[in-house]
Structure 1
Amino acid sequence: MPENSIRAIKTYFINELNSFYEQSELESMFYITVAHYFNFEKKDFILTPDKRFSESELLKIIYCVKDLKNGKPLAYIFGEWEFFGLPIKVNESTLIPRPETEELVDIILKESNQVVDILDIGTGSGCIPITLKKQNNNYQVFAVDVSKEALKVATQNAQLNEVEVTFLEYDILKNRNSIFQQQFDVIVSNPPYIPGSDKTEMANNVLDFEPHLALFVANHEPLLFYDAIADFAKINLKNNGKLYFEIHENYGNETLDLIESKGFSDARLIKDINGKNRIVSAQLIN
């Protein structure tokens, strides 16, 4: 067991993990970890470098390091992750929220100022609909997922963040008809879009822990979900309603072509903060 000063804890954390992660990544992971467990920020390390912790607190670090050696992502070790400044519970039934999805949410918020009905398809942890509702309480927000376990987590997250979102179990691939009484102003989805052939290029901590159901599609059908959701949206969007997708960076033009072939207008391909094709939006004008 390491000594109980914050300096010793940092040395232990980095020395134990330096053969598993890059140095710059380890620094970031350490500060995220002590902030989560001890509410100890980076500035506190400078102000109180000799801060000491109890044995039970040290054990949290030791168990965390053990999990990190096995490749388990910090989000699953903590059981939650921050998204758009909100705490979002996660487990291995839900994807870990990504910064790219924050960009998707930000675009919707900027372009949907009125009271609107919004549907999120394939909601996972519920981070998209919960954030939209938290940022604009005038929104009426609905979300669906095929996974019962993911919906349990999403419901917990709505309660945690004190917002009202209607969650329902629904499989868009088996039923493209609506289960709702109303139409929507906005339909958004971050569906599975990674071809199975991409697995060889992906990190083990993603492959070993995150739900493949939410990640992968067959190599010969990379746009499977976009096709189904676009068909659903044609029936269930209001006139002038908008469709928003997060996409695979390599299928931007193909996704645009698909959406336009379905009769949507004003289709746009939007790059993320890293300059990669990441978002497609379009409008249904009847």
Structure 2
Amino acid sequence: MFIKLLQDQFISKLTPIYDEGEAQQLFLFCLSELEGKTRIDLAMNPELTTVKLAQWQTTLDKLVQQKPIQHIFGKAYFYGYTFEVNEHTLIPRPETEELVEWIIASVPLNQPIRILDIGTGSGCIGLTLAKELPQSQVALLDISSEALQVAQRNAKALDVKVDFIQQDILALKQLSSSYDIIVSNPPYIRQLEKVEIKSNVMEYEPHTALFVDDSDPLIFYRKIAELAVENLKPQGQLFYEINQYLGQEMLELLTTIGFKNTELRRDMMQNDRMTKSVVL
């Protein structure tokens, strides 16, 4: 079958669920994974055919059911690296890449540092930092043993050595070590915001990594900041990915806890998305 016809079929069946741009991206993801081809390959050879029609159709059926394409293929791409993901881990988002880039830009080159990634999930933040900052010593913390198992496999695949800690951060009274950088992308979506969440997220990604109670939406940020202010080294830095609607509340929280220098930064979509705080 001509792949061009499959492309038309994908767009036709997926546009009621996704916008056309998203549908095109899903098709191109499949083109890469199933055929090892790119958009340019298809443009250069419009009569490109496939012998994997059954796999194409099975994949399309799952996409129509709104299963994330990263779960279908068991992988996601983040900061140029490939990460295993499954139902126990969040799928890495592009805005999180911006957070990682900010951290890397904030670190003196070739200086040994200790980094703690809290709520690591697949390990995309901490493992990327370990790859990009090979002089660093990185620890990955998560409450989920299943998520840590995924992170361990990702660490092996990326050939980096990091420490793994299984811990409920809310139950922790003190960190066991001091760090130069603490970073976290904790649960931050309020229950009232569930109406904004697409089915492919609601039905397939772990709710414990997504949602917090409306009555205390900054519970993880408060706890981590309280630990960080006591366990960061002088000039140590705390980085967060945050709820876009709670930027000012985050600034107030961090100031109250004792951070004197906090910067709020927007992501590529111009949403308040990340903070950086420094211990003086």
Question: Does TM, normalized by the shorter one, top 0.5?
Answer: yes
Check whether the contact 1:176–1:228 (CA below 8 A) recurs between aligned residues: no
Check whether the contact 1:176–1:231 (CA below 8 A) recurs between aligned residues: no
Which residue of structure 2 lines up, in the alignment, with residue 200 of structure 1?
A: 195
Which residue of structure 2 lines up, in the alignment, with residue 158 of structure 1?
A: 155
CA distance in 2 between partners of 1:78 and 1:109 (Å): 29
Partner of 2:170: helix, strand, or coil? coil
CA distance in 2 between partners of 1:87 and 1:211 (Å): 20
Shift of 1:29: 1.3
Query: What TM-score, normalized to structure 2?
Result: 0.96
1:27 is aligned with what amino acid? Q
Shift of 1:22: 2.1
2:25 is aligned with what amino acid? S
Deviation string, structure 1 residues 99-120 (Cα, Å, up to 9, x no partner): 1100000000000122210000
Shift of 1:45: 0.3
Shift of 1:63: 1.0
CA distance in 2 between partners of 1:212 and 1:251 (Å): 20
RMSD: 1.1
Task: Decide which of 10, 13, 16 is 2:10's aligned counterpart.
Answer: 13
2:259 is aligned with what amino acid? F
Shift of 1:13: 2.1
Q: Number of matched residues? A: 278
Which residue of structure 1 lines up, in the alignment, with residue 233 of structure 2?
A: 238
Shift of 1:131: 0.5
Partner of 2:86: helix, strand, or coil? coil
CA distance in 2 between partners of 1:23 and 1:249 (Å): 25
Which residue of structure 1 lines up, in the alignment, with residue 74 of structure 2?
A: 79
Task: Decide which of 22, 25, 49 is 1:25's aligned counterpart.
Answer: 22
Deviation string, structure 1 residues 181-228 (Cα, Å, up to 9, x no partner): x31000000000111111112111111111100000000001000010
Query: What TM-score, normalized to structure 1?
Result: 0.94
Which residue of structure 2 lines up, in the alignment, with residue 142 of structure 1?
A: 139
Deviation string, structure 1 residues 221-276 (Cα, Å, up to 9, x no partner): 01000010011112211111110000001111111111111111211111111111
Q: How does 1:106-125 map to 2 (within 5 A)?
A: 106-113=101-108, 114-125=111-122
Shift of 1:69: 1.0
CA distance in 2 between partners of 1:18 and 1:284 (Å): 48
| Identity across matched positions, percent | 39
Of 7-16 and 112-121, deviating more is 7-16
Which residue of structure 1 lines up, in the alignment, with residue 250 of structure 2?
A: 255
Which residue of structure 2 lines up, in the alignment, with residue 272 of structure 1?
A: 267
